[in-house]
Each structure stands twice: as C-alpha cells, then as structure tokens.
Amino acid sequence: MAKTKEELQAEADAEIDALKPQMIQEADAATGETVRREKTEEEYALTKADLGEWKWQQQQFGYISSRRDAYPPLGDQLDMLWHAIDGNKLDKTSDFYKDLKKVKDDNPKPS
C-alpha cells in the first residue's frame, strides 16, 4: 500500500536524525584551509526535505525505471511479437504477452 507524502517525510526526518551529527567539509574563507563542521539546522532541514521528496518520487514513479530495466531487449520483444503473429497466436497465450504482462505485474503502478 502506498504511503502518504507526510508518512514518507516522517521516515526521511527520522533517518536523517539517526545519522546526526553530519559533517560538512569546506574551505575556510580566511585561510583557505579545509575545515569540518556540523550541518546547521537549516542544512538538516533541507536534507530532510530532499530525502522526503526523493522517497515520494520513488514511490510514485520508481516503477517506471523498474519496468524499463525488467523488460526484455527491444529486439527480443520484436522477435517474440513476430513469432506470435507468425504462429497465429497474437493473444494472451503468446510469450510476447506473457513476458510483458509479468513485468507489469511484478512492477505495478502505485494506486
């Protein structure tokens, strides 16, 4: 079941809080030396917002890349389609249909 944006943001907040302190390396303006400091509250807030948005995008659209990676190569799909047509089996019993249907079933769109 899909989570709400608020639930995903709460998860992101907890994950970032669990990783505290987070350090940043930057050049000192006066000396040019590299210094380490803990993130500011504003930087933590931005990190939390970014992670929350990433989680939301993954939930809403992650299935697209999962499907793309799971589909057989286009040449194989065309070959399966040709064999289905040639065998007069361009229906739900063909390998073409069954293979693509499995990818869709294994990587459903969120509801």
What is residue 82's predicted lDDT score, i.e. its pLDDT? Answer: 97
Q: State both tokens at 84.
A: 């289905």
Enumerate residue ranges in the chain where pLDDT < 50: none
- Would you call 96 exposed, middle or buried from its count of C-beta atoms within 10 A (0-12, 13-18, 19+)? buried
Q: What is the pLDDT of residues 60-87, one digit of tens each?
A: 999 999 999 999 999 999 999 999 999 9
What is residue 68's predicted lDDT score, i.e. its pLDDT? Answer: 96
The one-letter amino acid at 6: E
Residues with Cβ within 8 Å of 26's Cβ and at least 6 positions away in sequence, in order, are 34, 35, 37
- Whole-model pTM: value is 0.70
What is residue 111's predicted lDDT score, i.e. its pLDDT? Answer: 74
What is residue 33's predicted lDDT score, i.e. its pLDDT? Answer: 95
